Amino acid sequence: MLLEIRNLQLEFRSDRQAVRAVDGVSFSIGPGETLGLVGESGSGKSVTALSIGRLLRTPPAFYPGGEILLAGCDVLKASNRELRALRGRGVSYIFQEPGVSLNPVFRVGAQIKESLRLHRPEAATDAEVARLLQAVGIAAPEMRAKCYPHEMSGGMQQRVMIAMALAAEPKLLVADEPTTALDVTIQAQILALLKDVQQRLGMSLLLITHNLGIVGQMADRVAVMYAGQIVETAPARELLRRPLHPYTRALMQAAPKLGVDGGRLANIPGSVPRPGAMPPGCRFHLRCAIARPACSVKEPALTVVEAGRQVRCPYWNSP
């Protein structure tokens, strides 16, 4: 395994309180594999991903338990020096809003070159910048390298972000909602690009999204998060064909599907509980269609129910 996360606990502490944002998350990603991490806002998926490169500042972020192993490095125990070596070559990131992630006062070519200087100093040349821009599908790369971010469209900016991430030749690319801010036609271009560079470079991909359609198109396996925990993991195809956890099922029914009749949308009542205000027992029981009295008492464990499939619900098999 390239990445292994075991029983990760993440707390945000202030003077007054500690809020547990991630509570016992475990998953792994093999070389060249794509894992889709799915969940609604507040489920803890982004902070889990940021923990892999230790991108959360301490304080307020603390790790009271668990471990993250990336390419042989124990991330939570690593020194600053080890972390610097890990970031970039071990793990690179692209985020939702490329316009915010790029520095507005530098030309994009200079920003890509900076990434090269940090992670592959021997390759910090204009030619390599042009090659990277070309690799992410930008025509006339020498000219485009001289543009400032605001001179580019959102799709173009996201391509630049991908070029910056690829500059380090990372083993793992974390893409956190990479196409949420983009139009569908541009989204299709960026997803096709990500798949293409991943196959060419043999990189692993952690794709964070709330869109199950994207998961079906991109991921090998999926982990569904709810309220700081994983509630279901499965091979992507199987999960979409037959979701087992009541939350996953509800999520799929709540998403309207194109070209499918079906009257009223099934909705999930209420909203995701805030960290620090978790209900007792199963964290989903207040919104669950098949909840029983026992669900408000005992917290269910993530259990293997079939080969390659885990579910955090003892009643997954009952209607």
Partner 1 sequence: MSAASPLLEVRDLKVHFPVKHGVFGAARGRVKAVDGVSFDLEAGETLGLVGESGCGKTTLGRALARLVPPTAGSIRLEGEDMAHWSGAQLRARRRKWQMIFQDPYNSLDPRMTVGHIIGEALEIHRLAPKAQERQARVRQLLESVGLDGAHAASYPHEFSGGQRQRIGIARALAVDPKLIICDEPVSALDVSVQAQIINLLQDLQQKRGVAYLFVAHDLAVVERISRRVMVMYLGKVVELGSAAAVVRTPQHPYTQALISAVPQIEEQSQRPRIVLSGELPSPIDPPAGCPFHPRCPVAEARCKVEVPLLREIVPGHWAACHLAGGGSSSSQS
- Residues in contact with partner 1 by the rule CB under 8 A: 40-41, 153-156, 183-189, 191-192, 210-214, 216-217, 237, 240-241, 250-252, 254-259, 261, 264-269, 271-272, 287
Shortest Cβ 300–partner 1 spacing (Å): 20
Choice between 10 and 268, CB closer to partner 1: 268
Amino acid symbol at 222: V
Shortest Cβ 250–partner 1 spacing (Å): 7
Choice between 74 and 183, CB closer to partner 1: 183
Nearest to 182 by CA among 193, 196, 166: 193
Nearest to 160 by CA among 118, 99, 207: 99
Choice between 41 and 199, CB closer to partner 1: 41
Choice between 188 and 297, CB closer to partner 1: 188
Shortest Cβ 309–partner 1 spacing (Å): 18
Shortest Cβ 212–partner 1 spacing (Å): 5
Choice between 66 and 243, CB closer to partner 1: 243
Shortest Cβ 268–partner 1 spacing (Å): 4
* Cβ 112 vs Cβ 167: under 8 Å: yes
Q: Kindly give the residue spans of alpha helices, DSSP state H, lying in the chain.
A: 45-52, 80-86, 98-101, 108-119, 126-135, 141-144, 154-167, 184-201, 212-218, 236-241, 246-254
Choice between 15 and 261, CB closer to partner 1: 261
From residue 55, alpha-carbon distances to 60, 179, 304 in Å are 12, 21, 31
From residue 147, alpha-carbon distances to 40, 114, 123, 185, 310 in Å are 35, 15, 21, 23, 47
Shortest Cβ 221–partner 1 spacing (Å): 16
Give the integer Cα–Cα distance in Å for 216 and 258.
15
